[in-house]
Amino acid sequence: DTEVTQTPKHLVMGMTNKKSLKCEQHMGHRAMYWYKQKAKKPPELMFVYSYEKLSINESVPSRFSPECPNSSLLNLHLHALQPEDSALYLCASSQEPGRNQPQHFGDGTRLSIL
């Protein structure tokens, strides 16, 4: 188990559903990240939050909506997803933006879109 906790571990949803992925860390990290990982591919960055503010959006479709309610929590709201959005969604955190500190990853949410 990692110190970055993601829920749920698995999610199956239809294309018209609305769901949310949650990520929590209690290491006092001030930078948090969402990645998407397709099978046999490396993680691809989606969003970066620094001090609870969105600092990078890698041109992600609006059907993915991130939210950072506080320094420990990061959500990813999902709506009207497509089958090609099926993937492992990884959350990561790092100590402080601008400092050379490694990102630590959660175990991910495996998402399947029917």
Partner 1 sequence: EDKVVQSPLSLVVHEGDTVTLNCSYEVTNFRSLLWYKQEKKAPTFLFMLTSSGIEKKSGRLSSILDKKELSSILNITATQTGDSAIYLCAVEVSVGAQKLVFGQGTRLTINP
Alpha-carbon distance values, 60 to 3, 46, 85 (Å): 26, 6, 11
Confirm or reject binding of residue 45 to partner 1 (CB under 8 A): yes
Burial class (CB in 10 A: 0-12, 13-18, 19+), 91: buried
Confirm or reject binding of residue 50 to partner 1 (CB under 8 A): yes
Confirm or reject binding of residue 31 to partner 1 (CB under 8 A): yes
3 state DSSP class of 9: coil
* Beta bridge partner(s), residue 62: none
Shortest distance in whole angstroms from residue 96 CB to partner 1? 10
Shortest distance in whole angstroms from residue 59 CB to partner 1? 13
Confirm or reject binding of residue 98 to partner 1 (CB under 8 A): yes
Burial class (CB in 10 A: 0-12, 13-18, 19+), 80: middle
Shortest distance in whole angstroms from residue 43 CB to partner 1? 6
Confirm or reject binding of residue 42 to partner 1 (CB under 8 A): yes
Residues that bind partner 1 (CB under 8 A): 2, 4, 31, 33, 41-45, 48, 50, 55-56, 90, 94, 97-98, 100-108
